[in-house]
Chain A
């Protein structure tokens, strides 16, 4: 028995070493930098100075919420439609959904630039049809579009997983007891897939709020999101500590919202991150 336990801990060792080296230490470093000045002395100045970034915080949160909401609006029905398809087709549809993720995020974002540019694909088509031009690149809409496009699979996947596990007999039972098809959806499928929705929202919201690449490329540098601000602070050695402070505050905000979400989930079954 003791031997077995030893073996088990030995097997877990690489994971623990990995976690400590690459997750715990970096987090401690972030916290350390956030609460020290350039000389290494303790200070709260970094945190208190964050007031000047309020606008960035608000904009980042707003755009991420909008992107997450759109992902939900598209992702939920999509996941539902996939679960109603014959089982043999479902894998294929999920593959189609995952396919773009095999391409690097960078390349995908660049191609979106090419599509939305003033001289890009969309405007070329519009020009050819003589329908005038629209300015897409550099707008907040373009950034939200990029977030939705890049992170949609993260919304669909957990919802699909939870939904496909719902016992079909429950749906029959609901129909039997007098539910119209719409009522089956509202009274059984929606409440039973909430844990997937919460995972999906988390998995889209977190990368959306911390992205810097999408906003730089599709936002065209006209405005800044939190990710960009952090990146800019870290590129300059003098503002390292401010960058760390922003990162820390953002992390705390995300953790708080996750905790709130999980409370809403009120569910011990799979699908929930954290």
Chain B
């Protein structure tokens, strides 16, 4: 695959506070890549560096092999869909979309036909003469996408473009964006704090935290093989417990030695063990590897979310079988369900469900939308 953008050892600080800490990233032509992370992780700054709205303190930005650190935003072959659309309120839908074509002095006839064509692509046929300020959020979003796409940029940057839409609309737009990306073959660089969005849309996901890239990989890789406790916790739900690898393909945690599929660790090395809630089978106590007491049960529709206390550590289990609060149950964990990670600075910070509540989760989500 051809590299279209390359970030090389980029660092950036605002008022002495490090926002990006030695970031390197290669982006390939035609891919849908997502920068994912909590607010303040540096994902938006990375996007703005590519767009030309920020300059790196250190490091280089390359576009098709050419260094573009000093190329101003208006001369880059990169367009942006902004977080809150940033449509020009003094122009109607047609003029908003035609904006870049008019600057390029494209012929009138061609402008008309291209705007018409792109309006059809974003399902806004017949909206040419509408006032943009009177459109709904979803419609404004489509205009913003059309405006950014009409001049056929090589790369489209999308900064949390669906953040302001409600859930239902967001899902629809996710599909549409993915379709548009496939149709046009334009490289999409997408920024979001929503892991579900990242997993369902992207070819590759870049997980960021504290101004550093934690992991780059396909959605499946990121989910199944997280490199550290931060990634494991940020992507989906996970139980993260301390463990020791006595030998290859054996790991001891929660008072039991399990078979596993990982190897390559030093004998006796302390590790973080990830077990996804949906990979644990609920069985009778005598048949389980681990035994514990159910402390909470929540019905989630597809499954029950069961919190189990095992020796003081609260595990989250997602199971279609019901267990009542106070029940003694056994947990059965297959070797493939166990993922071993090297210890990192994030060890011990995540993965325990003793203080877990949906409400808190939502609160922190809402926070990150506000700030970013």
Contact = CB atoms under 8 A, between A and B. Distances in A.
Contacts of A173: 80, 82, 86-88
Contact of B103 (A167, A172, A183, A192): A183
Contact of B79 (A170, A177, A180, A187): A177
Contact of B73 (A169, A176, A187, A192): A176
Nearest to B147: A177
Interface in A168-185: 169-170, 172-180, 183
Top 7 nearest A-B pairs (CB, nearest first) are A173-B86, A169-B86, A177-B100, A175-B73, A191-B90, A178-B103, A176-B80
Nearest to B78: A176
A188 interface: yes
Nearest to B100: A177
Contacts of A167: 86
A172 B86 contact: yes
22 contacts: A169-B84, A169-B86, A173-B82, A173-B86, A173-B87, A173-B88, A174-B88, A174-B99, A175-B74, A176-B51, A176-B78, A176-B80, A177-B74, A177-B79, A177-B103, A177-B147, A177-B151, A179-B74, A179-B103, A183-B74, A183-B103, A187-B99
Contacts of A176: 51-53, 73-74, 78-80, 148
B51 to A, nearest CB: 6
Nearest to B51: A176
B70 to A, nearest CB: 15
B100 A178 contact: yes
Contacts of B126: none
Interface of A: 167, 169-170, 172-180, 183, 187-188, 191-192
A86 to B, nearest CB: 13
Interface string B64-97: 0000000011110011101110111110000000
Contacts, number: 60
A22 to B, nearest CB: 38
Contacts of B147: 177
A192 B89 contact: yes
A188 B92 CA distance: 13
A135 to B, nearest CB: 47
Contacts of B183: none
Contacts of B148: 176-177
Nearest to A177: B100
A188 B95 CA distance: 12
Contacts of B74: 175-180, 183
Nearest to A175: B73
Contacts of A172: 53, 73, 80, 82, 86
Given A169-B82, A183-B103, A175 B72 contact: yes
B355 interface: no
Contacts of B82: 169, 172-173
B46 to A, nearest CB: 16
A251 B142 CA distance: 49
